[in-house]
Structure 1
């Protein structure tokens, strides 16, 4: 939630100054926070060179110890970020911190989803992230040549962030203004003319601009509900039996049997045929014994046939002299039934053995072959690399992994894998025909070298390089404009830091070369968002509202209208950059500078409706709006944001009221 405006607490504690911890300190300082830190040992090499100057107080010791936490100022802290590389240490430190400060916000690094839920219920004011999972999606999407820049789910709806290049054949070309693309399921994020730099903030596009060839448009859209629709219930008994009869037609049955036969192994086919043959012999034996010996019951006839089918010939004919007369042909049939039953039991044993061995030695199956072309080459399969591989497999992307050592059995078993010296493996992954190369080893210098080798072998492939040092990242990005240079921990640190201020970070993605966070707010009484129109929040703070749930209502509204005023208990999900979150945190709301001049209304009904529109869109008092409409022509003395003013003019025109925007 947004921080209360009356709260002055601005002190944070970071435990663990590895890659992630150092970046968390850096991002927190961008918020203007006071940051103390705890680490188990003196840092010999800082990933961020000037970081020692950013830390107010550095304590050396075990963050699980109460006295160490007290030295770090835990009792005065607003939040503690526990981001060591050991999850057990993180969880233990979280309990210690809660015992010393019942109100401190706990932000920890942990991948134990089930345990995290239990900890959240018991510790309260708690959030946990896995540092490798947060940025993995950015790496996966950067390697794709598709227009998708991010995707996530909200309330069981799929949301997709898209950046599309407009050409002469595109349906939006020269036919629409930018703001006309917005609808109930879509919001514009950016509009860039050909050759112009990418915008660094939202709403830097002109709502009345015409879409031209060469433009680039980024937007977010909410897709269909992800719940699988169940089959419609049968309305009547008659319809039920009609459905059963339809499905039991010979054509359907024949098709199902054909599919089953084609998908079965050789052993299963033999067992299937043998089963049909044995059932036939069993029924035939029952019938023959019943006809030959009319005095026995049907149950006795079935029992004789069953004993013979299970190899029980000696139970009936093992005596030296039989106690009953039997024709030679029935005696021969009985022998044949016993032999066939013995063979069928052997087949069943073979089938069971096959299944057991398949389960026992499943780990030894050979991996799929390396794709020939249009695939992604993923180099480095540590925690980040494995998560990227899982995402690419979910996206149905052809993929081959390269790693220095063999993976554990069962890890990414459906992915082609090349093991060995990475520098020497590029020739074995069809690098010249690959569409993308992702280099995510733990050595950023090696990543650069491998990336250069890959680009030399295939200059047309998308190249994504993982880095750690921010200065190194900037230099590589400047010297290699064809590569996407992403800092894994830098991406994750923004989510950790934002969560420390109370925001619930649902997801993140990279758009226009900067991180965008999907952030959830629960509105409270003294919140910086309370009692404000969504238009003020969107344009004043520079965030994009994508979901709003009104207090007391269950159904959320996607892409909500700018006219909604937030109240205590409402839920709001927005897209925001780290700068946007800072403005919300500080309550730094920029004011509108645009005015609307209303010229005339075509009728008294239009004047009445126009006053309602003005009050609803601008948020001004209804009396002010009615006074304005009674004194036309007049200017609305209520400053608006440009996009808000443009929408007001558009809504007034629909009500037969003529108005225009006055520049500041």
Structure 2
């Protein structure tokens, strides 16, 4: 967790940090982490537990608490003793869902305004309680952390996936290569579009910054630079593109047919198809038999028509079919193909011999087809009654060890991403789950040898025992040193120590991740999703601007650079269409909807109204054209947020300095815009410690 003491803050005018009172019920791993994060927000925290905590995962936990009450959080007397009436939020994170829900009822009766944040996996009940009780939200830690394990398992450059309405967002980490189209071509700020935003940039010699926007907009991307960005993909547009592509393919196919290209293509593919059929011997035999029978059928029909021109082609066709099905005696016993009456012995010998050959050949080949068909039917019947299990992937798959609730949720997410995987468990599982993915039910040591570990993409270890997870991770690394390993733990200290000692392993603390969501929700934030990178959790947070909010009246530039967040979706209070990757020039008003990417530090700053200090001014030297004075004043007002009167006064008395101090990226953007309008301007560091 990044300490807020590393940064300089600017307090919003006439604002004062308020110490809110919070009550945490249940001091297990999750509860302890919630206490620690709430204290980072500057909150006053009390706790209730059935007994004195024995396993302290957070150092000096008791010193972080204003009061610790021993008792049952469902009892009215205990809640009254904890002063529930003065609490802003109660966080119920005991290990028993029933206890959490009953305690929520008791707290609501004592304090109708208290916010209820509980740990519960009963989604339908949670939704009903939210509608009935109000100011209520529930989370399940397993679901919160599962997405982090799934994204980490995918590896590659993908750091996060989430969906907002019909828009799908993806967070990507990419190392610049010499052949990249961005390399040595674009300034970093030029990458920002309506569908992409740069989050971080670092060169080969520097480390990844802990805050957003800590990159130089005018820098160019060089080989070995690392860039992290978020991009949006609209599903509806993708579907339209697929439809257009299919239409184009049909048109292309028709052109190939008319121009004779199909035959050339088939001619090239016949040898390949024949080699492919070698691996399916039964299918190959069936095709040969079928083609042979079809050829003899056509040949027999033609021969009988040529020898009996007065006969009907339909009867010749069906007569040949009778011969192929073994009807030689039936046909030559009483059929003369509608010729004048004559006995069978007057039919030419060669024709009778040919007919006998048709019958013998037909009986043989049709018998083979019957045998293959019977074998296929019997095999499918036995397979129906036999327990089916998908085959274990050969390469580029994920090995998932530990198929508890977290493991099953991770498996479901990986299936959604179309990622091949194999599960390993040392205990029997539910039959329904057994049919979904390939499984190895065995002790872990033997199972690893059957999971094609050397060719796997990554190994995810999510059993309920931290020590067992570490032991399995060490075994995996010993057998396959190049395989990425992701480990689950409940203890943040254990996570930090393992990460330092074993850099090849990625350790995710479920309690720490979940606690960040619970703590943010305790302040009324609407957490939509989350993802992890560089050992920190990034939350997708939705705000609805209200009177008195620290965001009300600010430009999005001030929100982004002042609080260290990344706005990704904006919608005005009039419910106009949403704007993705909105412009910095938008000014927030009451009722507006805003979704941002933020870490815990950013949420703390927004809650307290503490902004990064503005440190840059814009000095305007001259305007190269008369109309540039008018246009330049408009641009200054829009980008800086100063009044239009102040901007016009400045442009009428050049050279001059914009009286409002700006953030660096905001100031650089203003200089670039003025340059395009033929106004000469430059940046100047602000020498005073105060901010206008």
Q: 2:604 aligns with which of 575, 578, 582?
A: 582
Change in Cα spacing, 1:9 to 1:592, as seen in structure 2 (3 Å) is closer
Q: 1:212 aligns with which of 222, 228, 248?
A: 222
Moved over 3 A (4+): 4-9, 225-231
How far residue 462 of structure 1 moved from its aligned partner, in angstroms, is 1.0
How far residue 170 of structure 1 moved from its aligned partner, in angstroms, is 0.8
Q: 1:542 aligns with which of 564, 574, 592?
A: 564
How far residue 512 of structure 1 moved from its aligned partner, in angstroms, is 2.5
SS in 2 for 1:180: helix
How far residue 7 of structure 1 moved from its aligned partner, in angstroms, is 8.4
Whether contact under 8 Å (1:533, 1:563) holds in the other structure is yes
Change in Cα spacing, 1:470 to 1:550, as seen in structure 2 (3 Å) is same
Q: 1:463 aligns with which of 444, 467, 485?
A: 485
How far residue 630 of structure 1 moved from its aligned partner, in angstroms, is 0.7
TM-score (norm 2): 0.75
Q: 2:425 aligns with which of 398, 403, 408?
A: 403
Distance in 2, Cα, partners of 1:32 & 1:121: 30
Distance in 1, Cα, partners of 2:194 & 2:466: 44
Are 2:163 and 1:153 aligned?
A: yes
How far residue 225 of structure 1 moved from its aligned partner, in angstroms, is 3.4
What RMSD, in angstroms, separates the aligned Cα atoms of the two structures? 3.0
Distance in 2, Cα, partners of 1:365 & 1:624: 78
Distance in 2, Cα, partners of 1:531 & 1:27: 28
How far residue 49 of structure 1 moved from its aligned partner, in angstroms, is 3.9
Q: After TM superposition, list the pairs within 5 Å mapping 1:624-643 onto structure 2.
A: 624-643=646-665
Could you give the per-residue CA deviations for residues 526-561 of structure 1, whole angstroms, max 9, x where no partner exists? 111111111111111111111111111231111111
Distance in 1, Cα, partners of 2:236 & 2:81: 49
Distance in 2, Cα, partners of 1:422 & 1:96: 45
TM-score (norm 1): 0.78
Distance in 1, Cα, partners of 2:504 & 2:629: 57
Change in Cα spacing, 1:189 to 1:69, as seen in structure 2 (3 Å) is same
Query: What residue in structure 1 maps to residue 185 of structure 2?
Result: 175
Whether contact under 8 Å (1:406, 1:419) holds in the other structure is yes
Q: Which stretch shows the higher mean deviation, 216-225 or 6-15?
A: 6-15
Whether contact under 8 Å (1:541, 1:590) holds in the other structure is yes
Q: 1:79 aligns with which of 75, 80, 89?
A: 89
Whether contact under 8 Å (1:5, 1:528) holds in the other structure is no
Whether contact under 8 Å (1:199, 1:512) holds in the other structure is no
Query: What residue in structure 1 maps to residue 460 of structure 2?
Result: 438
Q: 1:53 aligns with which of 63, 80, 86?
A: 63
Query: What residue in structure 2 maps to residue 258 of structure 1?
Result: none
Q: After TM superposition, list the pairs within 5 Å mapping 1:477-626 onto structure 2.
A: 477-626=499-648
How far residue 6 of structure 1 moved from its aligned partner, in angstroms, is 7.2
SS in 1 for 2:487: strand
Could you give the per-residue CA deviations for residues 167-186 of structure 1, whole angstroms, max 9, x where no partner exists? 00111000010000001111
Q: How many aligned residue pairs are there?
A: 550
Are 2:425 and 1:415 aligned?
A: no
Q: Which stretch shows the higher mean deviation, 412-421 or 118-127?
A: 412-421
Distance in 2, Cα, partners of 1:32 & 1:447: 35
Query: What residue in structure 2 maps to residue 13 of structure 1?
Result: 23
Q: After TM superposition, list the pairs within 5 Å mapping 1:323-334 onto structure 2.
A: none
How far residue 5 of structure 1 moved from its aligned partner, in angstroms, is 5.6
Q: Which stretch shows the higher mean deviation, 220-229 or 82-91?
A: 220-229
Distance in 1, Cα, partners of 2:565 & 2:553: 17
Q: Which stretch shows the higher mean deviation, 91-100 or 607-616?
A: 91-100
Query: What residue in structure 1 maps to residue 143 of structure 2?
Result: 133
Whether contact under 8 Å (2:19, 2:44) holds in the other structure is no
Whether contact under 8 Å (1:159, 1:221) holds in the other structure is yes
Are 2:14 and 1:26 aligned?
A: no
SS in 2 for 1:441: coil
Whether contact under 8 Å (1:36, 1:73) holds in the other structure is no
Are 2:128 and 1:118 aligned?
A: yes
SS in 1 for 2:428: coil
How far residue 230 of structure 1 moved from its aligned partner, in angstroms, is 9.2
Are 2:678 and 1:651 aligned?
A: no
Whether contact under 8 Å (2:202, 2:215) holds in the other structure is yes
Distance in 2, Cα, partners of 1:6 & 1:555: 36
Q: After TM superposition, list the pairs within 5 Å mapping 1:63-462 onto structure 2.
A: 63-226=73-236, 365-411=387-433, 413-462=435-484
Change in Cα spacing, 1:635 to 1:228, as seen in structure 2 (3 Å) is closer
How far residue 73 of structure 1 moved from its aligned partner, in angstroms, is 2.2
Change in Cα spacing, 1:230 to 1:591, as seen in structure 2 (3 Å) is closer
Whether contact under 8 Å (1:374, 1:434) holds in the other structure is yes
Whether contact under 8 Å (1:201, 1:542) holds in the other structure is yes
Query: What residue in structure 2 maps to residue 264 of structure 1?
Result: none
Change in Cα spacing, 1:228 to 1:189, as seen in structure 2 (3 Å) is closer
How far residue 116 of structure 1 moved from its aligned partner, in angstroms, is 1.8
Q: Which stretch shows the higher mean deviation, 139-148 or 200-209?
A: 139-148
Whether contact under 8 Å (2:18, 2:608) holds in the other structure is no
Change in Cα spacing, 1:176 to 1:228, as seen in structure 2 (3 Å) is closer
Whether contact under 8 Å (2:461, 2:487) holds in the other structure is yes
How far residue 60 of structure 1 moved from its aligned partner, in angstroms, is 2.3
SS in 2 for 1:589: strand
How far residue 79 of structure 1 moved from its aligned partner, in angstroms, is 0.5
Whether contact under 8 Å (1:9, 1:77) holds in the other structure is no
Structure 2 alignment gaps of length 5 or more:
1-11, 242-253, 255-376, 687-692
Distance in 2, Cα, partners of 1:17 & 1:382: 23
SS in 1 for 2:58: coil
Whether contact under 8 Å (1:158, 1:226) holds in the other structure is no
How far residue 376 of structure 1 moved from its aligned partner, in angstroms, is 0.8
Query: What residue in structure 1 maps to residue 317 of structure 2?
Result: none
Whether contact under 8 Å (2:19, 2:42) holds in the other structure is no
How far residue 420 of structure 1 moved from its aligned partner, in angstroms, is 2.7
Query: What residue in structure 1 maps to residue 53 of structure 2?
Result: 43
SS in 1 for 2:518: helix
Distance in 2, Cα, partners of 1:663 & 1:500: 39
Whether contact under 8 Å (1:5, 1:526) holds in the other structure is no
Q: Which stretch shows the higher mean deviation, 447-456 or 36-45?
A: 36-45
Distance in 1, Cα, partners of 2:133 & 2:675: 54
SS in 1 for 2:472: helix
Could you give the per-residue CA deviations for residues 34-60 of structure 1, whole angstroms, max 9, x where no partner exists? 111122333332232422322222222
Change in Cα spacing, 1:576 to 1:91, as seen in structure 2 (3 Å) is same
Distance in 1, Cα, partners of 2:140 & 2:513: 12
Distance in 1, Cα, partners of 2:648 & 2:46: 55
